[in-house]
Amino acid sequence: MEDYRDPNNVYIMDFLSFENNSNSIIGRMRLTRLILILSILAVFGPLVSADISDSLPDTVSISSKTIQFDSLPEIGTVMAPKIIEKAESPFILLTSSSLAQKAFSISVDGIDYMFCINHADTVVYIDTRDTAFVTPEGVKVNMPLSEVLKRSDRKLYCETGWAHVVILPSGWRAAFTVGYTMTEHEPAPEAPVEWLFRR
């Protein structure tokens, strides 16, 4: 049978094809992530925006894009439902190679973060890609891996398909990615921190 498709177009199924394709592993990983994210979106359903005229605690204010906090929430903090209702519509954030969670953008002292909550409205993940943020060890986004390792007593480890990670004494973790699969091989000493996170 002749193929009448426009050769200039790129088709998703061609890209993800597993037949005689050297990129089949990458294709499977991407398809799995796509199915996971679509499934979560289907469960959450459409989100209804809330009226933001009601009063909120003095420590929290709402802007058009982020929730403004006086201090960064800790892992395990239960967020007041009223605060979550007033926030900008949440989005889905991949927090490991196999887990996507409901996330919100927040700002503390002019530094941007994202945090994720579970079904009980408990904070389970916080990260930042803001270059203004510095951990207690002096680690920040764009710092090379070699410098990060000098500030930690832990070795680099790999979360396959998501990131290479160095755990810092403060509990913050520095993330590095390499290639299309995020963890194609170990990052070079000069590889920059891409984001910092806590779980």
Specify whether the CB–CB gap between 138 and 147 falls below 8 A: no
Residue 101 in tokens: 């969670």
Would you state the pLDDT for residue 35?
63
Average pLDDT over residues 160-177: 97
- Asked whether residue 195 carries a pLDDT value surpassing 90, the answer given is yes
Residue 182 or 38, more confident: 182
Q: Which residues contact 70 (CB under 8 A, 6 or more apart)?
A: 59, 60, 108
Query: What pLDDT does 30 receive?
Result: 62
Q: For residue 178, what are the CA distances in angstroms to 14, 56, 130, 188?
A: 24, 42, 20, 9
**For range 77-103, the mean pLDDT:** 84
3-class DSSP assignment, residue 27: helix
> 């799995």: which residue's tokens?
32
Measured CA to CA, the distance from residue 159 to residue 149 in angstroms comes to: 17
Q: What percentage of the chain exceeds 90 in pLDDT?
A: 54
The first and second tokens of residue 171, run together, are 């509990």
Q: Is the pLDDT of residue 71 over 60?
A: yes
> Per-domain residue ranges for the chain?
12-44, 60-126, 145-198
